[in-house]
Structure 1
């Protein structure tokens, strides 16, 4: 087993299983960029590690339909389009809609809980688990070398909105059979006790929407079918119509409605184009952007760049958890909306969201039910993996059988023993517009310098044979926040350095550019306390 993403981070989940030269992939998701990755749209698992073995892949199993588990599928299938995709009805419907945008027609197989099938040397059995999206599945992978139970994302909500609980009876049955390696969701492992019930959110949403005097905007993940259902029900009770905003929200909810996962009351949905005639106190906008994504609907509302305007008396509900790394973006959204006069309701001041992940008490139940021989926590930052591992050890899993890995950790399973036996170097694969994998960490470093420190160019025309400066040095700046005259004192020093170098026989343009960069770089660092990007241009005539 080798995770190519999802360990040490919340996103880009992907694990490769190998036996007898054949590969099985479980999940293939994306990670969303943080502020120190400017210009990046998405981050993919390091699928370059299996680029030369695409023909060995027997299938990709998708545990559920969230972007951090399915978002990278198009980029994998662009390398080999006929890799079979296995997943539940809703999961595959969401993937197929995504692939249609990439003009890829996939090979798919719909499965449900309690079903069992084989792909090459892998025998697969699927188990119902409860999560914040319907139709999530855990998968039992049986091979000649041993068995692995991978939970995907799950929790143990005992009163779920759709009545579909995590199948602990199946977990117990598999535990009796023998689970050699248990790979468990770690996201909430630091949280004691049990994750609150989803049904407790409905009454809070109803109360907030009922009391709102102006328009209401509810921001959530575009795949959170249960939350959208609760908003629809609360809107009906308050006598309001609902407008879905955001391309992914509209697409996903249509899929969920068509497949019977979302019950849309007659007449409650209205198109954005027709919503202008409805009074503010009679409408709810259900939008994307709960994580502060700059191009999402909620950010555009905050920047007053959307046709739905937020103002005094309006209510905005952020019905989602903070994904680690998005805190600053979300707080910026909250502050911006409040500045416009909106009442902002979020998880910090009202019970408008519960997590979709098992807390420590639920994990402990699972370990005691399954009684695995070995444990490898997955899906979470390193602190989450550590906390999950501690829960496993508390229930009796030996410490040397509890593997805290990271992306690229190669784990061998043989004779009932799992061992970390190697470490691959895993890179970030950046999607930047239509570019995939071409943007490097050095490029992002340059972008950060440009954003934070500014840009300085120095253009000089020289005649090396006479050690004469024909023109310049001309200094141009962007984002350095200094007046042009500030550079008057360094211009003659650059000219002196160049003339001295040319008189000593330096006639190469690149060497003269390096002298220019060093001269102005030292001065900018000392006088202006900046580390601006410096681009020297020396033209030799």
Structure 2
């Protein structure tokens, strides 16, 4: 059980995920026996986390305290804020509150995981108020790269805790619903005890450009294209999807949508009234060839070079319904995420080789961030006037810069705290202190299950991908200390066996001696012999090749039987 040093008159805030990282956003505000959870996100795996689909937080602290959890409120519908909901709901039973678009996306996820019927769901907006015995939750409208984004204000006896969610101050959003500066200012005037602020763009000394600026750039580019347009962006960036669809429709182009997530985004956007073009604007794949090229726009996923996304399959010729044709223009309306640069360059080369012209978003003013830069972060702090400040949703360097901005805006340095996942900050009206921690490690999801994938498995996968595998097979009689057959060595991904006979023969002799030595120990068992084989053979192979393949001993224990 996790034991925190939080007093009865203190409000605790913490991150189960989302601190010191981009993703896994899951935050808690706790007063006595009431916990308000904010968001439940995932993080996508690093390139060396082979076979892993998602990374989620360890929910053990929440499981231990689930009787205290009053609600899970959602700021918006991006994966790093809602992707963990199916997994958290399998660990705890909690009612979920979200805006219309996020709620539609959550329902899709829960249906896929057979959790929809058993989950309590509530639709909220910026006017909603959730009231509990000791705390309450209100909301304020923000702007991001997706509609229906909310900031969260948790009202406790010690004061108001504000969590911004992802935001920027877009005064001309394509949804025509600007941020509610008046409500933010009202919260600030009434008094904010602690501000938990989005730090994603804390390194950028800018005011992030409006989505409307991108919208005009997209229209200008569309005016200059005579052939077919293939427009690729994040399906989660519904504002950009709306821009592309509207621009195509106004220019008499029919729209074909490809990619499962993009199809879902368009369906949800149309159902909620964000995408306002008529049914006749959309066509299916079978209708593409019946229309002139200058009357078509293909809207698809894959702007980050994802291998299985629609654009990648179109580029490499494996898509069943679409291929690159002479005169095609591909518009990549995104910036490469760090770590995806090689994948994006690969797809750029494939598209160019196939004969397409490529227009990149980061060079043609057709992409802007959904997160505020330093100027907007300072404005948020000025509006909220917090007594204490905690930067969230960012890596350590971003959190540190964000604290510097808070100090520039009048928040004392000793009132600013950089927290790690699991660390708890205890607050009263006048004081803040560190109050212990709980386990908040990464949990690796392999497939759609919630079983943890051990870090040792991740390391083995990485080793296999980089160094290969050597399997040792032998039959031994431990009772009589006999090697009845083998040992044989099999190499996969390490050395080519036909060309490495001498090395493998030396390895076999070494393993033979190792097994004999290990069996002579009176306490020898299968596990101790395997350990000796791994140790001796690994050292030998590294000495000879300077490589460290995964060594896998497979011993057939023939105890008690005489050798035939």
Superposition TM-score, scaled by structure 1 size: 0.93
CA distance in 2, matches of 1:465, 1:494: 19
Unmatched runs of 5 consecutive residues or more in structure 2: 1-12, 559-564
Matches within 5 A, 1:157-172: 157-172=170-185
CA distance in 1, matches of 2:71, 2:511: 62
- In the alignment, what sits opposite 2:199? 186
Question: Could you tell me how far 1:265 is from its partner in structure 2?
Answer: 4.1
- In the alignment, what sits opposite 2:263? 250
- In the alignment, what sits opposite 2:426? 412
- In the alignment, what sits opposite 2:511? 494
**Contact 1:206–1:237 (Cα < 8 Å) also in 2:** no
**Contact 1:10–1:323 (Cα < 8 Å) also in 2:** no
Instruction: Work out which of the residue numbers 457, 463, 467 in structure 2 matches 1:449.
Output: 463
Q: Deviations over 1:99-118 (max 9, x none)?
A: 22222233223222234331
Question: Could you tell me how far 1:433 is from its partner in structure 2?
Answer: 1.1
- In the alignment, what sits opposite 1:91? 102
**Contact 1:59–1:119 (Cα < 8 Å) also in 2:** no
Question: Could you tell me how far 1:320 is from its partner in structure 2?
Answer: 2.4
- In the alignment, what sits opposite 1:77? 89
The verdict on how the C-alpha distance between 1:2 and 1:325 changes in structure 2, with shifts beyond 3 A counting, is farther
CA distance in 1, matches of 2:424, 2:113: 32
Q: Secondary structure at the match of 1:153?
A: coil
Instruction: Work out which of the residue numbers 310, 315, 319 in structure 2 matches 1:306.
Output: 319
The verdict on how the C-alpha distance between 1:412 and 1:335 changes in structure 2, with shifts beyond 3 A counting, is farther
Whether 2:531 is the aligned partner of 1:514: answer yes
CA distance in 1, matches of 2:305, 2:249: 28
CA distance in 2, matches of 1:292, 1:473: 45
Whether 2:542 is the aligned partner of 1:525: answer yes
Instruction: Work out which of the residue numbers 102, 127, 137 in structure 1 matches 2:113.
Output: 102
Whether 2:62 is the aligned partner of 1:53: answer no
334-343 vs 114-123, which moves further: 334-343
Question: Could you tell me how far 1:290 is from its partner in structure 2?
Answer: 2.6
The verdict on how the C-alpha distance between 1:427 and 1:90 changes in structure 2, with shifts beyond 3 A counting, is same
CA distance in 2, matches of 1:322, 1:510: 47
Q: Deviations over 1:435-456 (max 9, x none)?
A: 3142021111111011111011
The verdict on how the C-alpha distance between 1:533 and 1:279 changes in structure 2, with shifts beyond 3 A counting, is farther
The verdict on how the C-alpha distance between 1:433 and 1:133 changes in structure 2, with shifts beyond 3 A counting, is same
CA distance in 1, matches of 2:517, 2:197: 66
Whether 2:60 is the aligned partner of 1:43: answer no
- What is the aligned length? 540
CA distance in 2, matches of 1:409, 1:390: 21
Q: Deviations over 1:480-513 (max 9, x none)?
A: 1433341233323333443455567786443433
Unmatched runs of 5 consecutive residues or more in structure 1: none
Instruction: Work out which of the residue numbers 284, 300, 303 in structure 2 matches 1:290.
Output: 303
- In the alignment, what sits opposite 1:384? 398
- In the alignment, what sits opposite 2:42? 30
- In the alignment, what sits opposite 1:343? 357
Superposition TM-score, scaled by structure 2 size: 0.89
CA distance in 1, matches of 2:159, 2:178: 27
Q: Secondary structure at the match of 2:441?
A: coil
**Contact 1:23–1:56 (Cα < 8 Å) also in 2:** yes
**Contact 1:291–1:322 (Cα < 8 Å) also in 2:** yes
The verdict on how the C-alpha distance between 1:322 and 1:10 changes in structure 2, with shifts beyond 3 A counting, is farther
Q: Secondary structure at the match of 1:267?
A: helix
Question: Could you tell me how far 1:62 is from its partner in structure 2?
Answer: 0.6
294-303 vs 383-392, which moves further: 294-303
- In the alignment, what sits opposite 2:232? 219
- In the alignment, what sits opposite 1:428? 442
Q: Secondary structure at the match of 1:435?
A: coil
Q: Deviations over 1:1-25 (max 9, x none)?
A: 1111111111111101111211110
CA distance in 1, matches of 2:522, 2:62: 52
334-343 vs 397-406, which moves further: 334-343
The verdict on how the C-alpha distance between 1:475 and 1:340 changes in structure 2, with shifts beyond 3 A counting, is farther
CA distance in 2, matches of 1:15, 1:188: 19
Question: Could you tell me how far 1:272 is from its partner in structure 2?
Answer: 2.6
**Contact 2:468–2:492 (Cα < 8 Å) also in 1:** yes
CA distance in 2, matches of 1:420, 1:407: 13
CA distance in 1, matches of 2:496, 2:405: 56
The verdict on how the C-alpha distance between 1:423 and 1:346 changes in structure 2, with shifts beyond 3 A counting, is farther
Question: Could you tell me how far 1:238 is from its partner in structure 2?
Answer: 4.2
Whether 2:62 is the aligned partner of 1:62: answer no
Question: Could you tell me how far 1:403 is from its partner in structure 2?
Answer: 1.0
The verdict on how the C-alpha distance between 1:511 and 1:235 changes in structure 2, with shifts beyond 3 A counting, is same
Question: Could you tell me how far 1:203 is from its partner in structure 2?
Answer: 3.1
Question: Could you tell me how far 1:163 is from its partner in structure 2?
Answer: 1.7
| Structure 1 ranges of 4+ moved more than 6 A | 503-507
- In the alignment, what sits opposite 1:195? 208
CA distance in 1, matches of 2:260, 2:331: 19
Question: Could you tell me how far 1:76 is from its partner in structure 2?
Answer: 1.9
